[in-house]
Structure 1
Amino acid sequence: MTHLPGGRRRAVLPTATLATALLLTACGGGSSEATDTSEAAAEESTVGTAFGDVTVPADPERVVTLAESALDVSLAVGVTPVGTTASRGGDTAPAYLGEDAADIPIVATVSEPNLEAILEAQPDVILASAGLAQDQYDALTAIAPTVVPDTATGGDWQEPLHTYAEALGADDELTAALDDVTSRAEAIAEEGSLDGTATVLRWMANGPVLMNAALMPGSLLQSAGAGPVEAAQLGDRPHSDPLSLENLAQVDADRLFLAAFGADGTGALEAARSQPAFTQLEAVQEGATTEVNGSVWSSASGPIAADLVMDDIEAAVS
């Protein structure tokens, strides 16, 4: 079974491998010192991160997640963190993760970790967001080994997920989950029911923004057979600047996915429906628009979120 385009995994390098080799070549093997070294090494692994290789417990029991995608990955592989970050604009874990995340203590906002709360959680490992500042990393790594995905991955949305899964000793489980998502997308592509172009617009109170086609929803749409509009090739930018209704024609596509974000976004979307610039879009006239959850489609990235995106895509073409 194949991975989504661009998907790759960074190998976990168990330090036990080196310890075993040393034991095999040591003279008079069986010394208590060599045995102790082997046992200690067997309980650790090394993960490549944005701040270099980080040694983490092989099976961490107390995990703090400081990124929504890290929380998504953790729950998907059966690990319930002892602390996590609040969702964007909220004070609880992302609602799309349901009861599994509802009772996890909040120890950070999107912009800032609560170091005292994280220290009290006594984590074995901290899974932080990509792009973490050096000063925050230094403070966190003084508490526990801190894993920060490398952002230099060419826009591959899966790569950070594998970094988190490696730190949890559960990359095989994540790979299986992403393979299932791939299969769902490939089935739609084989049917040809999503042929043409597709655009994801995040609707805000101050207007819509075009989401980058390289993000998780755009990548899944491409795997399912829909090509992006040219304007959605945004490089390293997650989305465009707010678009005026008069400029919507440049992002018109055969199918539109409209991600309303909160009450303001939903209200703005309702107002747009009365505007000629919106109603004249080809996808609107053809009835090929789908409203989706903005917190999943425009800010989430993980196997659980990917499954929900696939639910919406499948419903749109059924």
Structure 2
Amino acid sequence: MRLRRSLTTVVGLAAATALTLAGCASSSEPGSADASPEETSGAAGGATDEFPITIEHAFGETVVEAEPERVATWGWGSTEAAVAAGVYPVAVAEQVWTVGEDALLPWVEEAYDEAGVEHPVILSDPEGGATVPYEEFVEVAPDLIVAPYSGLTQEQYDLLSEIAPVVAYPEAPWQTEWDDIITITADSLGRSAAGEQVVADIEQYLADEAAAHPEFEGVTFAAIVDSPSEGLVYVYDSVDPRAGFLEGLGLEIAPAVSELSPGDGSFFYTLSYEELDKLESDVIVSYTYTEEQAAELPTKPELQALPAVADGKVVQQVGQVPVSAVSPPTALSVTWPDGMPALVDSLAEVLG
């Protein structure tokens, strides 16, 4: 209750400040509280759907009464989905692990620069969504917060909803399929047709790559991250969107991935090095953060228990930014050269 009272106070102060600024301002600029819809959202062409629009999600439903003019995104992938649909958010969650503080993902920065749109406010997110910078959201004054692939809790959702309507994930945190991230975002912006086209284009890209690489068909995979400091391996479960993209290339998630899963609703689980012999698959797809780890991984003694590693069937995506481009891919990172194209080339090299 203390947090809720504090937030309500901040909201009131922000509203008073906004009124003062509106009375004094003589000009507007992108990202400012008095900017025009075109300047603030960077919208290209406007919405095509009729408002109000109702979006159902895990916390109930959200009604978007009119075309959003100041969109904020939270979590992963919704920024790219909005941009791909023609809307440039005024505020986005920072990605500290990938690019550090106060920086944009490269494919996002390129999109804003190519469109000539001022860069968005970067919302503090040092803990990957565990905490939410409510006051920063208040200062940005969004009229819609889009977070279909995030870890929002009920309390976080409720508090954010005091600031603006919030579109959350459909069922569980961090488990939204890649195409749903795009369509939910586009639907909430009144641009369902644009979202459907983005999904169709990505599906065509995957289909073209699958056709170009018949050696992928039916190959079973397990997607992992090795954690030497913990003496275990993280395994992405079948519900994770990373699996969906790889399946789009013609691969199949190994039955062992589901059989070993604890089924606790998480998008990943862990296996100790002593359990790795149970994770049977034709190929291992490893998201590896450094070149040093990448060089060691194929011959690392502990990982030889993985049948695919012992067989030399290891595909690695290396580097924090390249890993982020495919883990999971987004509407803008799919065709980023060091993203899926690089991963496809690595798969072809190992499986061909």
TM over 0.5: yes
Q: What does residue 214 of structure 2 align with? A: 192
> What secondary structure does 1:79 align onto?
coil
For residue 332 of structure 2, the aligned residue among 291, 300, 304 is 304
> What secondary structure does 2:215 align onto?
coil
* 1:62–1:287 Cα change, 3 Å: same
**Cα displacement (A) at 1:183:** 2.1
Paired letter, 1:167: S
CA distance in 1, matches of 2:107, 2:222: 22
CA distance in 2, matches of 1:145, 1:226: 39
Q: What does residue 45 of structure 2 align with? A: none
Is residue 241 of structure 2 the alignment partner of residue 216 of structure 1?
Answer: yes
Contact 2:223/2:287 (CA < 8 Å) preserved in 1? Answer: yes
Contact 2:134/2:160 (CA < 8 Å) preserved in 1? Answer: yes
Q: How does 1:1-318 map to 2 (within 5 A)?
A: 43-87=51-95, 89=97, 90-91=100-101, 92-95=103-106, 97-100=108-111, 103-109=119-125, 110-128=129-147, 129-151=149-171, 157=177, 158-190=179-211, 191-195=213-217, 196-206=219-229, 207-233=232-258, 234=261, 235=263, 236-244=265-273, 246-261=274-289, 263=290, 266-278=291-303, 283-284=308-309, 288-292=313-317, 293-298=322-327, 300-308=328-336, 310-315=340-345, 316-317=347-348
> TM-score normalised to the size of structure 2?
0.67
Matched residues, percent identical?
A: 21
CA distance in 2, matches of 1:114, 1:277: 41
* 1:118–1:43 Cα change, 3 Å: same
Contact 1:217/1:306 (CA < 8 Å) preserved in 2? Answer: no
**Cα displacement (A) at 1:62:** 0.9
* 1:177–1:210 Cα change, 3 Å: same
* 1:101–1:217 Cα change, 3 Å: farther
CA distance in 2, matches of 1:286, 1:187: 28
* 1:252–1:104 Cα change, 3 Å: farther
* 1:99–1:183 Cα change, 3 Å: closer
The CA RMSD over aligned residues, in Å, is: 3.1
* 1:95–1:248 Cα change, 3 Å: farther
CA distance in 2, matches of 1:70, 1:314: 24
**Cα displacement (A) at 1:237:** 2.2
Paired letter, 2:348: V
**Cα displacement (A) at 1:45:** 2.3
> What secondary structure does 2:169 align onto?
coil
> What secondary structure does 2:268 align onto?
coil
* 1:137–1:257 Cα change, 3 Å: same
Paired letter, 2:287: A
* 1:210–1:100 Cα change, 3 Å: same
The answer to which structure, 1 or 2, has the higher relative contact order (CA under 8 A, 6+ apart) is 1
Gaps of 5+ in 1: 1-40
> What secondary structure does 1:237 align onto?
coil
**Cα displacement (A) at 1:303:** 2.1
CA distance in 2, matches of 1:275, 1:148: 41
CA distance in 1, matches of 2:66, 2:348: 43
> What secondary structure does 1:225 align onto?
coil
Paired letter, 1:303: A
Paired letter, 2:341: D
CA distance in 1, matches of 2:247, 2:50: 41
CA distance in 2, matches of 1:202, 1:95: 23
Between Structure 1 and Structure 2, how many residues are aligned?
A: 273
Gaps of 5+ in 2: 1-48, 114-118
Paired letter, 1:231: A
